[in-house]
Amino acid sequence: MQNNTFSTLFVGQNLIRLKEVDSTNNFLKDLASNSEPLAEGTVIMAENQYAGRGQVESVWQSQPGKNISTSIYLRPSFLPLNKQFYLTIAVSLAVTDALGAFIPHGIYVKWPNDIYFQNKKLGGILIENTLTGSLIKASIIGIGLNINQEEFSDNIAYKAISVIQILQKSVSIIDILEKLFVYMEKYYLILRSGRYEFLKDLYLERLYLFKQSADYRQGEKVFKGSIMDVAESGHILLEVEGESQSFNFKELEFIHTK
């Protein structure tokens, strides 16, 4: 455990730095299960995460020491199960605000929780909740952001980007973390106060391709649709051929244009 000087009440005040780990989310889950009670706002940060995960078990690629690989421990027991997606919204807003302090334009959230700069992926979020009855006992918030990585493997280079590529200069990872922890705390407290519509309105404002026609895939079917809304459950609502259709996280794939 390390004491830090982040200007927050609790997020990042207990920061544990690791040289290398399979997954910061896995490490934090193990820590939480073996160390009761773990302080809310505890953060795990790794220089190298060699088995990081994205949504639907995809692999997160990151060069050691160049990027942000971090997980935050929260206990949102105040959040009803049917409003779990608002935690995703709050975290997405925190990440976009933190990056927006360095990159003034072009930062979006691609549903449900990828972070984009213009048309390329800048990072991602993976939230894993532990439930006790009808309450969320704990949430592990995994955040991966491309910061100072200048090159990506050929299979993702066309759709990935980093802060250093955008700004043409390196940026302090600690400076970005400072902003991330401040905004994470801000939006978490807004969530705790129950201001759901406020959070959702901001999320829609920052949603990638909101109300724009784009190509999507569901199974073998490829079609054009426009995002019209995101339901409380997290389902996305698309207008397809004049009709509203609802999709969950695993049903729909956005087709990236090279």
| pLDDT for 52 | 56
Higher pLDDT, 55 or 163: 163
Summarize the confidence of residues 124-141 as an average pLDDT. Answer: 93
Q: Which of 118, 126, 140 is nearest to 44 (CA)?
A: 140
Residues 6+ apart with CB under 8 A from 155: none
**Reported confidence tier of residue 3, pLDDT bands at 50, 70, 90:** very low
| pLDDT for 70 | 96
Q: In what order do the strands lie in the sheet with 43-49?
A: 15-21, 43-49, 68-74, 135-145, 120-132, 114-117, 107-110
| pLDDT for 211 | 97
Q: Which helix (H) or strand (E) covers residue 98, if one does?
A: helix 85-100
End-to-end CA, the chain: 44
Check if CATH label 2.30.30.100 holds for domain 213-254.
yes
Rounded-to-integer distance, Cα 120 and Cα 106, Å: 10
Does residue 39 sit in helix, strand or coil? coil
Q: What is the pLDDT of residues 82-123, one digit of tens each?
A: 999 999 999 999 999 999 999 999 999 999 989 999 999 999
What CATH superfamily is the domain 15-205? Bira Bifunctional Protein; Domain 2 (3.30.930.10)
Residue 199 reports pLDDT greater than 70: yes
**Reported confidence tier of residue 1, pLDDT bands at 50, 70, 90:** very low
| pLDDT for 57 | 45
Q: Which of 173, 174, 185 is nearest to 73 (CA)?
A: 185
Paired tokens of 182 = 């401040």
Helix 196-205 / helix 173-192 crossing angle, nearest 10 deg: 140
| pLDDT for 258 | 61
Q: Cβ(62)–Cβ(146) under 8 Å? A: yes
Q: Cβ(186)–Cβ(12) under 8 Å? A: no
Q: In what order do the strands lie in the sheet with 243-247?
A: 243-247, 236-240, 221-230, 213-218, 253-254
Rounded-to-integer distance, Cα 14 and Cα 42, Å: 5
HSE at residue 92, side-chain half, CA atoms within 13 A, is 26
Mean residue pLDDT across the chain: 91
As a residue count, the chain comes to: 258
Summarize the confidence of residues 214-235 as an average pLDDT. Answer: 95
Paired tokens of 223 = 């079609």
Q: Which of 213, 193, 188 is nearest to 11 (CA)?
A: 188
Summarize the confidence of residues 32-42 as an average pLDDT. Answer: 87
**DSSP symbol at 105:** S
Residue type, position 29, single letter: K
Q: CA gyration radius for the chain?
A: 18
Enumerate the domain spans of the chain.
Answer: 15-205, 213-254
